[in-house]
């Protein structure tokens, strides 16, 4: 269809059409022809701006919904804010393109909260060819099942092999009591994954059937994983299965499965760093009646050195760092008879750093057990 408006009668006829009909016709035109239409007169340009705005590219997009929709787009430090009803929201969503930039972890960021986290919005996002590298969710997730949410991530990752969702953060969440993480973790394959979740206090108090089970441990302990799961989402884990998963981690020749070594994102610049000489994994798990700092500290594996530590501030490193660079850490010779409380680090986390050296480099695991005041262990 040609939209070049050279015929005077055609132009006059178009002027007399209702705006809704004009928009339908113009919507079938190419981007170049739409620019020509804008130049016909100020009235037509106003209609185009209202109903067919040009595609807007952003590197970070926030979608929030309570009674109305709110979208906040960010690009090169400039912010664009929209508030309105569902019709306006859908129109703007169709004109928005989320992009990443040069493997930078601070671009390709999609943030969603509360009522915006639902099936129909996730489906609309899948229709867009967005490059999502980081997915941050917060607030209520009760409008979507865990199966739908993690299916969305899997489908999005199939769209573009060069830009997959590597960071998934679920913050201050309210979830249903059937929110299972196993399928999500098991289906991540060899892809890098940074995953963390924390629950609202009231939600955590009532959860009994959600979280991870022993079935997903082999998917958790892999290179390029940085995973943080607190209790009560870890209540179903057992120390025997945990020890077996760690044993398998150190028995696997990761340079066959992951020849490129570990990939990290620099905290300051967000740029990708890789090191073929390291296979690195960081896991933080909430303690339960079976899994504690003491029970993990008792683990021993052939050829693997271990160092126990307690930490009262900050997160575990996302990149391999020497001990002197870790803030708030106390390194111990033996933690089998120690606890955070006994060393005056109440409310902290403790863990074990395991390292084995091979002909190809180091296989490195940092396993932290997050202290919970609701569990008490005898030592």
Tens of pLDDT, residues 209-227: 889 999 999 999 999 999 9
Question: Among candidates 271, 277, 160, which has minimal Cα distance to 223?
Answer: 277
Distance CA 222, CA 188 (A): 11
Q: Under DSSP, is residue 91 helix (H, G, I), strand (E, B) or coil? A: helix
Crossing angle between the packed helical segments 119-127 and 86-94, to the nearest 10 degrees: 30
Distance separating alpha carbons of residues 20 and 96, to the nearest angstrom:
21
Confidence (pTM):
0.79
| Mean per-residue pLDDT, 184-201 | 87
Single out the residue of 350, 353, 348, 308 nearest to residue 332, CA to CA.
308
Q: Contact 288/231 with Cβ under 8 angstroms?
A: yes
Residues in the chain: 379
Neighbours of 49 (CB within 10 A): 11
Task: Please state, as a whole number, how many other Cβ atoms lie within 10 Å of the Cβ of residue 248.
Answer: 12
Whether 251 has a pLDDT exceeding 60, the answer reads yes
Q: What is the pLDDT of residue 347?
A: 46
| Tens-place pLDDT, residues 98-142 | 988 766 778 899 999 999 999 999 999 999 889 899 999 999 999
pLDDT, mean of residues 239-255? 97
Per-residue confidence (pLDDT) for residue 159, from 0 to 100:
83
CA torsion angle 295 297 303 307 (round to 10): 170
Predicted pLDDT of residue 11:
62
**Residue 45, token pair as written in the block:** 């340009």
Is residue 277 within 8 A of residue 329, CB to CB? The reply is no
Give per-residue pLDDT as tens, 3-51.
554 556 666 666 677 767 766 676 666 656 766 776 777 777 777 666 5
Predicted confidence at residue 344, as pLDDT, reads 46
pLDDT in tens, 147-184: 999 999 999 988 877 778 989 999 999 999 889 899 88
Average pLDDT for 260-275: 82
What pLDDT does residue 144 have?
A: 93
């Amino acid at each position: 269809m040609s939209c070049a408006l050279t015929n005077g009668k055609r132009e006059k006829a178009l002027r007399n059409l209702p705006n809704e009909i004009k928009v339908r016709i113009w919507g079938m035109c190419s981007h170049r022809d739409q620019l020509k239409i804008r130049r016909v007169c100020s009235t037509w340009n106003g209609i185009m701006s209202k109903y067919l705005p040009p595609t807007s590219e952003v590197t970070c997009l926030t979608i929030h919904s309570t009674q109305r929709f709110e979208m906040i787009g960010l690009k090169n430090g400039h912010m664009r804010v929209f508030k309105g009803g569902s019709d306006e929201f859908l129109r703007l969503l169709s004109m928005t393109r989320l992009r990443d930039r040069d493997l930078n972890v601070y671009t390709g960021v999609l943030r969603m909260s509360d009522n915006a986290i639902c099936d129909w919005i996730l489906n609309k996002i899948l229709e867009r060819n967005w490059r999502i590298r980081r997915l941050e969710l917060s607030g209520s997730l009760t409008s979507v099942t865990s199966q739908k949410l993690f299916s969305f991530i899997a489908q999005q990752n199939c769209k573009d092999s060069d830009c997959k969702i590597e960071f998934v953060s679920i913050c201050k969440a309210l979830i249903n009591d059937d929110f299972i993480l196993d399928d999500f973790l098991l289906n991540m394959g060899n892809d890098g994954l940074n995953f963390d979740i924390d629950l609202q206090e009231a939600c955590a108090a009532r959860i009994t059937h959600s979280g991870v089970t022993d079935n997903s441990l082999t998917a958790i302990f892999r290179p390029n994983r940085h995973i943080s799961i607190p209790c009560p989402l870890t209540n179903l884990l057992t120390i025997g299965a945990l020890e077996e998963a760690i044993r398998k981690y150190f028995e696997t020749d990761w340079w066959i499965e992951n020849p490129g070594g570990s990939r990290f994102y620099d905290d300051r610049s967000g740029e990708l760093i890789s090191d073929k000489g390291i296979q690195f994994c960081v896991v933080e798990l909430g303690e339960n009646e079976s899994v504690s700092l003491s029970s993990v500290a008792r683990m021993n594996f052939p050829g693997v050195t271990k160092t126990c530590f307690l930490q009262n501030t900050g997160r575990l490193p996302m990149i391999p760092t020497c001990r002197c660079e870790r803030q708030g850490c106390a390194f111990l010779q033996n933690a089998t008879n120690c606890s955070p409380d006994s060393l005056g680090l109440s409310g902290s986390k403790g863990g074990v750093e395991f390292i084995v050296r091979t002909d190809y480099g180091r296989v490195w695991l940092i396993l932290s057990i997050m202290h919970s005041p609701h569990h008490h262990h005898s030592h």
